[in-house]
């Protein structure tokens, strides 16, 4: 750790000398992260070991292709790194094949679609307004432009998935692929039922586990690996690795998937990021990681319960994972306004549409909250109580600039007690 710290110092000095503008902005971001409370459900903090790998000289190496089949020479080392990353990922999820090259979850989804589908094939995915992701068929996204998207949503009463209704939609639309998984859905997804639906209509099944990958590794959410033809995900969020994507699939699709990633949609992989992924996968194999995921989950459930006690409406009434979707209509405030006020105070959230939202997505009636980042910083129930006090006060004094300024100082002091990285 000491060696890394000294190296970090030297690097910082070099950056300041070369480009003080960027150096200053990075310093500003370090300060921002230290002094705010991050409740973004899709964000987390990587370990120093992951940071060291991603910031290494591996960024210098171009390595188009795959281990043993590169288009450049000098890839002996990076071949080993990528092979280790793939093997660790397969072990974590008990998968037959893994591809660790996708730059993001979106690229992972694109690679899967293009591996077995043709343009204008029908894909059935979760409606963005119900908690799905852009890449599940949104018309403004490649998935809705290249393919013919049809959608399933959630039940109006329970705001949860209705598998009988999804089956009816699948039977009516006959999709070539069904996509399950979500970006803002707080409940357990029954991958077996999705598999049964897909098989009944002759569709491929792709499970997007971007948000819940860490929980699956820890056995806190069912795994789709046995039930789905393809599994995509991100290495950040609950998995706590560097920003990037991955694909898992059955052996029968391995060649198609690899070809779809490269040369299909990407050029050379980001070898330094793959190294960071490998480190994160090793960290995820330890007992501490399982305990950490349990804490993420218990923190989320506790926060949802306490929000209800404070008269906030929680979509579906609780959560089974790391995220909570808060309906703010009972507080007479919009999602965008809450996001702005809380952001000014130092509580970082994102506005989010709720199911059957009467407001447009850019305004939204809700906010999405996640507990991964605060759990990484060592926060628990006592700290969550304090955070909720901050949220209540910020929303209450939204028109009182002086009070909000005072609150910002309090939040800054609070966040400072939980360093992201030990100095």
From the list 8, 33, 43, 64, the catalytic residue is 64
The two beta strands, 122-126 and 148-152, are parallel
Helix, strand, coil in percent for the chain, rounding step 5 = 50, 15, 35
How open is the CA angle 196-148-194, to the nearest 5 degrees? 15
Query: Annotated catalytic, 287?
Result: no
Query: Annotated catalytic, 8?
Result: no
Residues 6+ positions from 399 with CB-CB distance below 8 Å: none
Rounded to 5 degrees, φ, ψ at 80 are -65, -40
Query: Annotated catalytic, 19?
Result: no
Query: Annotated catalytic, 250?
Result: no
How open is the CA angle 322-152-247, to the nearest 5 degrees? 55
Query: Annotated catalytic, 243?
Result: yes
Separation CA 321–CA 217 (nearest Å): 13
C-alpha closest to that of 210 among 111, 353, 104, 93:
104
Q: Which residues of 112-125 are buried (b: 16+ CB within 10 A; e: fewer)?
A: bbbbbbeeebbbbb
Is-contact 314 308, C-beta < 8 A? yes
From the list 27, 35, 48, 62, the catalytic residue is 62
Separation CA 103–CA 159 (nearest Å): 32
Query: Annotated catalytic, 76?
Result: no
Beta bridge partners of 325: 368
Q: How far is CA 391 from the centre of its chain?
A: 23
From the list 234, 371, 376, 408, the catalytic residue is 234
End-to-end CA distance of the chain: 10
Dihedral sign, CA of 69, 70, 73, 74?
negative
From the list 66, 70, 208, 240, the catalytic residue is 208
C-alpha closest to that of 207 among 228, 237, 190:
228
Separation CA 325–CA 305 (nearest Å): 12
From the list 70, 86, 240, 243, the catalytic residue is 243
Is-contact 204 177, C-beta < 8 A? yes
DSSP symbols for 25-37: HHHHHHHHHHHSE
Within a 13 Å sphere around the CA of 247, how many CA atoms are in the beta-carbon half? Answer: 30
Active site residues: 62, 64, 208, 234, 237, 243
């Amino acid at each position: 750790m000491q060696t890394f710290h000294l190296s970090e110092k030297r690097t910082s000095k070099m950056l300041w000398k070369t480009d003080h503008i960027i150096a200053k902005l990075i310093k500003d971001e370090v300060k921002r992260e230290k002094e705010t409370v991050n409740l973004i459900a899709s964000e987390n903090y990587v370990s120093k070991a992951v940071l060291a790998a991603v910031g290494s000289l591996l960024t210098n190496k171009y390595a188009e292709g795959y281990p043993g089949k590169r288009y450049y020479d000098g890839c002996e080392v990076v071949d080993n790194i990528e092979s280790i990353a793939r093997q660790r990922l397969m072990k974590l999820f008990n998968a037959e094949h893994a591809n660790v090259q996708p730059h993001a979850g979106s690229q992972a989804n694109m690679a899967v679609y293009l591996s077995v589908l043709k343009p204008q094939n029908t894909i059935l995915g979760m409606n963005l307004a119900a908690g799905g992701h852009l890449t599940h068929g949104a018309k403004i996204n490649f998935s809705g432009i290249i393919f013919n998207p049809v959608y399933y949503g959630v039940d109006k009463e329970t705001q949860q998935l209705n598998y009988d209704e999804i089956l009816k939609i699948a039977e009516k639309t006959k999709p070539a692929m069904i996509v399950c998984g979500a970006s803002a859905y707080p409940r357990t997804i029954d991958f077996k039922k999705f598999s049964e639906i897909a098989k009944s209509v002759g569709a491929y099944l792709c499970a997007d586990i971007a948000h819940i990958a860490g929980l699956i590794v820890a056995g806190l959410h069912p795994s789709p690996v046995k039930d789905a033809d393809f599994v995509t995900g991100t290495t950040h969020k609950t998995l706590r690795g560097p920003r990037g994507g991955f694909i898992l699939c059955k052996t029968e699709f391995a060649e198609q998937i690899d070809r779809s990633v490269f040369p299909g949609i990407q050029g050379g992989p980001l070898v330094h990021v793959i190294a960071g992924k490998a480190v994160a996968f090793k960290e995820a194999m330890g007992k501490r990681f399982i305990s950490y995921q349990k804490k993420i989950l218990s923190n989320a459930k506790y926060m949802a319960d306490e929000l209800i006690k404070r008269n906030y409406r929680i979509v579906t009434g609780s959560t089974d994972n790391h995220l909570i979707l808060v309906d703010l209509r009972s507080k007479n405030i919009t999602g965008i306004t809450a996001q702005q006020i809380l952001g000014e105070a130092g509580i970082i959230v994102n506005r989010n549409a709720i199911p059957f939202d009467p407001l447009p997505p850019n305004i939204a009636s809700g906010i999405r909250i996640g507990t991964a980042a605060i759990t990484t910083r060592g926060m628990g129930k006592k700290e969550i109580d304090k955070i909720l006090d901050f949220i209540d006060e910020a929303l209450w004094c939204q028109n009182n600039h002086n009070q909000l300024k005072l609150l910002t100082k309090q939040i800054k002091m609070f966040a400072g007690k939980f360093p992201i990285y030990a100095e």
